[in-house]
């Protein structure tokens, strides 16, 4: 890996820093990554409007999209640099699944009518999207999904259930997978659809997590009619469309930088509160070593991200390397959260509904929210399996 920017990359990095210094709204500075408080996602969308408009002028809402679709056409390394600087400056992310998932899929597999209808509204934030992939019996083995779509004239009729659908209660549209051929091998009988969440027969039931938030949902489909024009790509080819990714920067550098900032915040808290009963730094000197270890681990996460983007910049496709990054980062998030609760002592167990909760309950909220980090996005067991078989060459059985 070359840790030095080329002259062109250094110039671009400076332009991002200048933009953030001049344009990032003051109310966002210091908010930090990740967001662990409670609140209404829709109100946060509205709060982001001014920031979104400033990014849109630069084409930086979907910076790696081609310019003809409203992006900036950035290279892999430019996208990485922008994400890194955004994270360092604690700038909030915009775009969501519309920018990161369905947009790139439509750019490759969508027809002209689908691109015209949806891409512009993704960039403006007019439409929010959610993902309908996981089902109660189809999590890690997603290809076993059972939600069915049956062709009926100009429509498909969908019946079934999705679960763990993040943001479904606020989403206007869903991109989803459904089985269109029950006789075909499980990977070959699935199709990819776009579904209007206002369609009759769609029921959304929020699920409350351990932190008291409704981040994800159950979604039920009862004879929901989806126009055939909302089928993306070919029927029964949805599994392969669903795995589509463009050669965008996917190194998780924002997460790595965010984890380092979290640890630095813990160190700052321990220093500022060492004598007021909230920190056990003096009572438990080993906490010093634990904080040091968390900081070193955050830097390791950054190096793993650098490895992934270096491969992408060379035209390589990260495989087990991406699994290593995800596995290490998700488990590190849990270790950082545990260190925070330990550092704050009994006060660290309090959520933000208590006047005694340090940092407005962030320690406890982070602890309960990160429990799911080793499940979401591919379990740690799945990631270890990929590393073992594809990275180490071990047999699958």
Q: Where in the sequence numbering do the catalytic residues fall?
A: 249
Take residue 31 and report the two structure tokens written for it.
């908010």
Can the peptide bond before residue 92 be classed as cis, meaning omega within 30 degrees of 0? no
- Give the span between the Cα atoms of 10 and 77, in whole angstroms: 11
d(CA 281, CA 283): 6
Ramachandran quadrant class, 378 (left: phi over 0; alpha: psi -120 to 50; beta: rest): left
Strand, coil or helix: 192: strand
Distance in Å from the first CA to the final CA of the chain: 34
CA-wise closest residue to 65 among 20, 5, 122: 122
Euclidean distance between CA atoms 168 and 172, whole angstroms: 8
Residue 99 · residue 37 · CB < 8 Å = no
Under a CB-based contact definition with an 8 Å cutoff, are residues 99 and 106 in contact?
Answer: no
The token pair that represents 14 in the structure block:
């400076």
How many CA atoms within 13 Å lie on the side-chain side of 268?
Answer: 8
Tokens of 284: 């438990």
Q: How many CB atoms lie within 10 A of CB 271?
A: 10
DSSP assignment of 195-232 equals: EETTSTTEEEEEE--TTS---EEEEEEEEEEEEGGGEE
Alpha-carbon gap, residue 313 to 218, rounded angstroms: 39
């Amino acid at each position: 890996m070359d840790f030095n920017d080329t002259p062109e990359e250094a110039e671009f990095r400076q332009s991002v820093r200048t933009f953030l210094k001049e344009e990032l709204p003051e109310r966002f500075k210091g908010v930090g990554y990740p967001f662990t408080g409670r609140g209404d996602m829709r109100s946060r969308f509205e709060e982001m409007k001014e920031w979104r408009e400033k990014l849109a002028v630069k084409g930086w809402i979907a910076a790696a999209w081609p310019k003809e679709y409203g992006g900036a056409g950035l290279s892999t390394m430019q996208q990485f640099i922008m994400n890194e600087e955004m994270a360092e400056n604690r700038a909030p992310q915009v775009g969501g699944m519309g920018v990161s998932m369905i947009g790139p899929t439509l750019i490759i597999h969508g027809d002209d009518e689908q691109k015209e209808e949806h891409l512009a509204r993704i960039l403006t934030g007019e439409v929010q999207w959610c993902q309908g992939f996981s089902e109660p019996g189809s999590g890690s083995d997603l290809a076993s999904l059972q939600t069915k779509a049956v062709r009926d004239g100009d429509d498909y009729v969908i019946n079934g259930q999705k679960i763990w659908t993040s943001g479904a209660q606020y989403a206007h549209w869903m991109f989803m997978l459904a089985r269109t051929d029950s006789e075909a091998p499980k990977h070959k009988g699935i199709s990819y659809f776009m579904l209007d969440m206002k369609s009759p027969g769609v029921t959304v039931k929020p699920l409350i997590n351990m932190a008291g938030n409704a981040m994800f949902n159950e979604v039920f489909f009862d004879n929901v009619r989806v126009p055939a024009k909302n089928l993306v790509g070919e029927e029964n080819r949805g599994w392969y469309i669903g795995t589509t990714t463009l050669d965008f920067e996917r190194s998780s550098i924002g997460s790595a930088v965010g984890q380092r900032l979290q640890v630095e915040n813990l160190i700052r808290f321990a220093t500022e509160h060492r004598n007021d009963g909230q920190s056990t730094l003096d009572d438990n000197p080993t906490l010093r070593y634990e904080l040091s270890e968390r900081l070193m681990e955050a830097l390791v996460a950054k190096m793993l991200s650098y490895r992934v983007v270096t491969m992408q910049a060379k035209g390589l496709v990260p495989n087990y390397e991406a699994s290593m990054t995800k596995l290490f980062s998700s488990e590190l998030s849990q270790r950082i959260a545990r260190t925070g609760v330990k550092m704050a002592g009994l006060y660290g167990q309090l959520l933000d509904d208590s006047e005694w909760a340090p940092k407005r309950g962030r320690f406890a909220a982070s602890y309960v929210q990160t429990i799911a980090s080793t499940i979401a996005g591919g379990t740690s067991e799945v990631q270890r399996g990929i590393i073992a078989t594809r990275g180490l060459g071990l047999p699958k059985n």
